[in-house]
Amino acid sequence: MYRVALKNEDDFAGWRKAARALALADIPPEQVEWQVGEGGDLFAGEGAGAAPPDPPEGAEFSVPRQFMTLAEDAFAHPDKHRFEMLYELLLKVRATPRAIMDVGDPLVSRLSAMALEPRLEALEKRNDKDAALAELIVEAKDCKRCPLYKDATQTVFGEGAASARLMLMGEQPGDQEDLAGRPFVGPAGQMLDRGLREAGIDRAETYVTNAVKHFRFEQRGPRRIHQKPDTSHIEACRWWFAQERVLVRPPVTVALGGSAAHALLGRKVTIGRTRGEPIPLKDGLEGWVTVHPSYLLRIPDKTKAEEEYGRFVEDLKGARKRAKELA
């Protein structure tokens, strides 16, 4: 058994050094005991077996940057098992770098939730919520939590005041939003604006965002064709969406389309069955579901398109009424 003695709860540098030495020596997680506050050497095991054996000459490895980001953030969580969980994930990711993107993996999912928790708690305590939102926007510009940043032009963060009583949430930025760096400014945005006006909602008083902040597309000749984000992208980007929600805490959030509804409710839903009714959310707030405005643009039949648009406006009116009731 190898025993690692970290200087204190925040000794990430110590964890990193020990984890690297142990991984290079191929020590399995069950043979490592992690302790805090013992003082003295990093490796405090018994006898000669205290420190892992020297790795073979030239032995090296690297892990994706996403792992280090997650490890540093999760390290701030008080869970006493975080050291061994992170070491276990390190070994997984060293063997299969893509494992860090596997949000279905219970270890990745648990550590991601742990990484987020201290952040959300700190944001809840902030009095200057608009300033905190502005800081998030700057930070999100460099986000590399999932591969979508590689091909997109820029991060398209949410827009609006922290005091907004209504949040409107789409799936992801489209072609024009990607270029402009603002959500809902293309044709779907114009359709949304029209619907909002008819529902008596001032867009300037809402917070408009997307579940995923980078544009996912397929290049076909000169055209960039929208591609739905995967669950892994939605889960990775929950990092930002969760922080936006804690800062804005809108009494009502309207999910525009299936992917947004999935991200908001944490499960897949059929829009036809869930629209028009308030849905209680885990954070104690309320969700509404309606179609994405781009769906309205794609309906070829004029009569059907008008009918669907009417239902969309009715959904928005319902959400507005509810936001007023809850204000």
- Residues within the interface to ligand SF4 (CB under 6 A): 140, 143-146, 148-149, 155, 212-214, 233, 236-237, 240
For ligand SF4, the closer of residues 275 and 292 by Cβ is: 292
- The enclosing H or E element of 166 equals strand 166-170
Compare residues 100 and 143 and give the one whose CB is closer to ligand SF4.
143
Q: 17 forms bridges with which residues in the sheet? A: none
Which residues, 6+ apart, have CB-to-CB distance to 72 below 8 Å?
12
Least CB distance to ligand SF4 at residue 230 (A)? 11
Instruction: Report the nearest approach of ligand SF4 to the CB of residue 182 (Å).
Output: 15
Kindly tell me which of 144 and 324 has the beta carbon lying closer to ligand SF4. Answer: 144
- Nearest CB to ligand SF4, comparing residues 260 and 313: 260
CB of 244 to ligand SF4, least distance (A): 12
Nearer to ligand SF4, 4 or 256 (CB): 256
Q: Rounded to the nearest whole angstrom, what is the least distance from the CB of residue 155 to ligand SF4 in the complex?
A: 5
User: Are the beta carbons of 116 and 242 closer than 8 angstroms?
Assistant: yes
CA–CA separation, 224 and 255 (whole Å): 24
Stretch (H or E) spanning 209: strand 206-210
Q: How far is the CB of 234 from ligand SF4 (least distance, A)?
A: 9
Pair of tokens at residue 237: 């980007």
Beta carbon nearer to ligand SF4, 88 or 230: 230
* CA torsion through residues 19, 25, 30, 31, sign: negative
Which residues on adjacent β-strands are paired with residue 4? Answer: 34, 43
Residue 85 vs 140, nearer CB to ligand SF4 = 140
Cβ distance 292 to 171 under 8 Å? yes
In contact, 318 and 301? CB cutoff 8 Å: no
Min separation Cβ 237 and ligand SF4, Å: 3
Beta bridge partners of 224: 219
* CA atoms of 39 and 246, how far apart (whole Å): 38
- Taking the C-alpha atoms of residue 84 and residue 234, their distance in angstroms, rounded to an integer, is 27
Please report how close the Cβ of residue 293 comes to ligand SF4 at its closest, in angstroms: 21
